[in-house]
Amino acid sequence: MKTTFLNCFIVLAILLSACKQGNSDIKTDSIANDDTVAIATEDILTSDVLTKDQQATLKPIDVLNRLKQGNVDFTKDNLTIRNTTERVRKASLGQYPKAVILSCLDSRVPVEDVFHSGIGNLFVARVAGNIINDDILGSMEYACKVSGAKLVLVLGHEYCGAVKSAIDGVRLGNITTLLQKINPAVISAKASFHGDALSSNPAFVEAVCDQNVKLAIQEILSKSPILKEMQSKGEIMIVGGVYDMNSGKVEMFE
């Protein structure tokens, strides 16, 4: 009888220990997930995409200021929770973006996120080194002249691999032709740069990146009479900017 009682006691102790361990695991998991925020349905905004009438009333400077504010929100994590499904549905009925942005191919520069912008608000063109070619110009003309975008932004970024490759004179397949479009920026930056004009020097890479953006704007104006005329009439603005990889901030060239 004593032996049976002892065995039952041991089994009970094992079960209690297992339950305690299970509760401990649950608590640990709960702590590990403390950074997960529960979002109530009423907190999700049904934010509207721009309509044709809303786009028409925007001034280029208004669009620029909205992009600046969106970037501030991005850098401060002051982000709006949007009902993406609803935006997708509404955007399918038509698109009237406020700006067209030419960005580098770099995966570390999520353009819509950088400007805290949702579906249907921006045209985004991407190509390594944010270079200008006929296809990009045609896309910009379509965005502005046909679809009513009010701003053209050429967006470069720090630590650009294409810029570094252009500085190093890399030759590889079709990349060679692409990098030749960045060479004028390398030459121009060297003329006024004091220091080592090398891809290993972040300051020089930044100088070339800045110059590459500025030369891209000049090329847009010289090769697209449509965009040049629209800017001269105040219908659009053409500006440049550089994305800071460390802070997420975009420095605008106006």
pLDDT in tens, 130-149: 999 999 999 999 999 999 99
Q: Which residue has the higher pLDDT, 2 or 109?
A: 109
Give DSSP secondary structure letters for the chain: -HHHHHHHHHHHHHHHHHHHHHHHHHHHHHHHTTTPPP--GGGSB-PPPPPHHHHHH--HHHHHHHHHHHHHHHHTT----B-HHHHHHHHTT----SEEEEE-S-TT--HHHHTT--TTSEEEEE-GGG---HHHHHHHHIIIIIT---EEEEEEETT-HHHHHHHHT---TTHHHHHHTTHHHHHHHHHH--S--STT-HHHHHHHHHHHHHHHHHHHHHH-HHHHHHHHTTS-EEEEEEE-TTT--EEEE-
For 41-253, give the CATH class: alpha beta
**116 marked among binding-site residues:** no
pLDDT per residue as tens digits for the range 88-133:
555 554 568 999 999 999 999 999 999 998 888 999 999 999 999 9
pLDDT at 33 over 60: no
Give the range with max mean pLDDT: 15-29, 53-67, 116-130, 168-182.
Answer: 168-182
**106 marked among binding-site residues:** yes
pTM of the model: 0.78
**35 marked among binding-site residues:** no
pLDDT at 56 over 60: yes
pLDDT on residue 54:
83
**104 marked among binding-site residues:** yes
pLDDT band at 75 (very low <50, low <70, confident <90, very high): very high
